[in-house]
Structure 1
Amino acid sequence: MPPVNPARVRFGTQGWNYPAWVGPFYPTGTRPADFLRTFARAFETVEIDSTFYAIPPASTVRGWAQRVPDGFVFTCKMPQEITHERRFAGCEELLFAFTERMRELGSRLGPILIQCGPDFAPRQGKAFAEFLQLLPRDLRFAVEFRQPAWVRRRVLDLLREHRVALALSDGKWIPREWLLKLCEQPTADFAYLRWMGPDRTITDYSHLQVDRSVELDAWARMMPVLQGQVREIFGFVNNHFAGHAPASVRMLQERLAIPTVDPLSIGEQPTLF
């Protein structure tokens, strides 16, 4: 049954540890140790990328939680050892170790992103289906497929059975038209959106370099539909989407009449492309 009230929308970026943001986003002179604390003054969620490479020490996870205010939510990527190396086989102990570690975030822990590799194909679906049965039911998970062949009714039904959201990632893998249509048939009571960009040619993250107005307008038009289907929406922009993720997030917020933080209030100078 669709929720009675429109979904809460949380927009943030993929990561926060970018020295190039000092000046255009973080106040000049901001130390890396203060990046996250400053970030949390502008946005209320962020996707942790570093967990993809290794399970972080407990002290690191607790440190993240201590640097943000109540109500801030972290999402995180599942380790690549599970998704890319073991391809979901024989991962029960590793999955437990990872989820227990991320529980150190307490109430600040949001969905965990299961990012599949671009060569992970439906023929490996048996291992994936068995893996879904291992997921703790009290945590939220989203899965990102990078092959269009995964987008079929049988897979969507499987995700729905396990209350796992299909991550809708605007990039080079699945046509945007498909993603927008999938907003009408979510597989969980929350949605997980990612704006990746078509490639990784952008290497300077200090300012917007590509006009993504057409793409953002398309998503903004579909957002009310999605809000009527789920209880909460998480959305994260990558620097490669347009060059400077914080500015792209604000463009999304403005299109949806979501209050934004004045860039000057945290030392940011307006960015032009």
Structure 2
Amino acid sequence: MRLHVGCAMWSHRLWPGHRLPSAERLRHYGSWCDAVEGNTTFYATPARDTVESWAAQTEPGFRFVLKLPKVITHERRLTDVGEPLRAFLDAIEPLGPRAHALWIQLPGSFGPADVATLTRFLAQLPRSHRYAVEVRHPAFFTDDRATRLLEATLTAASAEWIPFDTTAFFASPPTSDAERDAWTKKPRVPLRSLALTDRPIVRYLGRDDSTRTVEGWRRWVDVTVAWLREGRSPTMFVHTPDNAEAPVLARRFHDEVRTRVPELDALPEPIPVEPLTLF
């Protein structure tokens, strides 16, 4: 039984580990959280030696949820993507089991009429990886037929549906520059908390006010406890608009769940960052 927690990145200018050399930041982050979203892979396939360094800095049980490049999901919309897909799979091979799931984030325009394309794409993927899909078209959340169609497609491929819960964030108007920026960019879709596999993945967006972030995730504590008792192994990613306290909050989420599920393994103690000196 294990709950993994993480953030949208492993380095942030306001986190203590940011003062470390770039080649050491992931190792430090990995002592705070045991999972991370691979958002950078959306913009470009990383060099294989870069991925080798990621593997070297993390334990085998660390989880990367890696986003497929946008050329596959957004530009070619899952069609005629053999070459970029092969390049991506080759690049991430050094991660081995750390590549927990490949994340297929689809554009908001990808709707129920496109599910057949998704079905064909999932069928061509190698079984050596797990896959998780994030959709943003509102019909998948509000139209029962569209919901069932997508669930059937994902279940047939043993793929997970990643919810991005922004309901707490959009519950009241923004109060900071970071919140105002996120207000125009983050998706507004209804809450979804149904797992399709034994390894559900959740993305949760809170507020810059940590108290409100914690209040907003109460339902996810309940859901996560239930998943663990069912024998599932979930991963929770905690976001806030500025992400300043994201690693601390992710650990707090884990602690809250562990209070209810005492047999859950504790997270490791964070590696201290030694103060910089002149000598």
Q: Give the residue type in structure 1 aligned to 2:255.
A: E
Contact 2:45 / 2:91 at 8 angstroms: preserved in 1?
yes
Task: Name the counterpart of 2:190.
Answer: 175
Q: Give the residue type in structure 2 aligned to 1:10.
A: H
Pairwise CA distance, 1:17: 2.3
Equivalent residue of 1:240, what SS? coil
Pairwise CA distance, 1:73: 2.4
Q: Give the residue type in structure 1 aligned to 2:238.
A: V
Of 110, 114, 117 in structure 1, the residue corresponding to residue 100 of structure 2 is 110
CA distance in 2 between partners of 1:67 and 1:242 (Å): 22
Contact 2:36 / 2:237 at 8 angstroms: preserved in 1?
yes
Question: For residues 196-237 of structure 1, what are the alpha-carbon distances to aligned partners after superposition, in whole Å with 9 as ceiling and x for unaligned?
Answer: 348xxx7xxxxx566212211111011122224453211212
Unaligned runs of 5+ in 1: 1-6, 203-207, 269-273
CA distance in 2 between partners of 1:224 and 1:17 (Å): 29
Is 1:195 matched up with 2:204? yes
Equivalent residue of 1:114, what SS? strand
Task: Name the counterpart of 1:159.
Answer: 154
Pairwise CA distance, 1:246: 0.7
CA distance in 1 between partners of 2:196 and 2:82 (Å): 23
- Could you tell me the TM-score, scaled by structure 1's length? 0.80
Question: For residues 213-264 of structure 1, what are the alpha-carbon distances to aligned partners after superposition, in whole Å with 9 as ceiling and x for unaligned?
Answer: 221111101112222445321121224276421122022112112634556x
Q: In the superposition, relative to structure 1, how do residues 242 and 17 fare at CA in structure 2: closer, same or farther (>3 Å)?
A: closer
CA distance in 2 between partners of 1:241 and 1:260 (Å): 24
Q: Give the residue type in structure 2 aligned to 1:216.
A: W
Unaligned runs of 5+ in 2: 142-146, 167-186, 259-263, 275-279
Alignment of 1:91-102 (within 5 A): 91-102=81-92
Contact 1:72 / 1:108 at 8 angstroms: preserved in 2?
yes
Task: Name the counterpart of 1:12.
Answer: 6
Q: Which has the higher helix share?
A: 2
Is 1:214 matched up with 2:220? no
CA distance in 2 between partners of 1:89 and 1:164 (Å): 19
Equivalent residue of 1:46, what SS? strand
Pairwise CA distance, 1:111: 0.7
Task: Name the counterpart of 1:60.
Answer: 50
Q: Which has the higher contact order (CA 8 A, sep 6+)?
A: 1
- Could you tell me the TM-score, scaled by structure 2's length? 0.79
CA distance in 1 between partners of 2:22 and 2:212 (Å): 29
Task: Name the counterpart of 2:250.
Answer: 249
Of 48, 62, 65 in structure 2, the residue corresponding to residue 72 of structure 1 is 62
Q: In the superposition, relative to structure 1, how do residues 225 and 163 fare at CA in structure 2: closer, same or farther (>3 Å)?
A: same
Pairwise CA distance, 1:31: 2.5
Equivalent residue of 2:65, what SS? strand
Q: Give the residue type in structure 1 aligned to 2:97.
A: S
Contact 2:31 / 2:269 at 8 angstroms: preserved in 1?
no
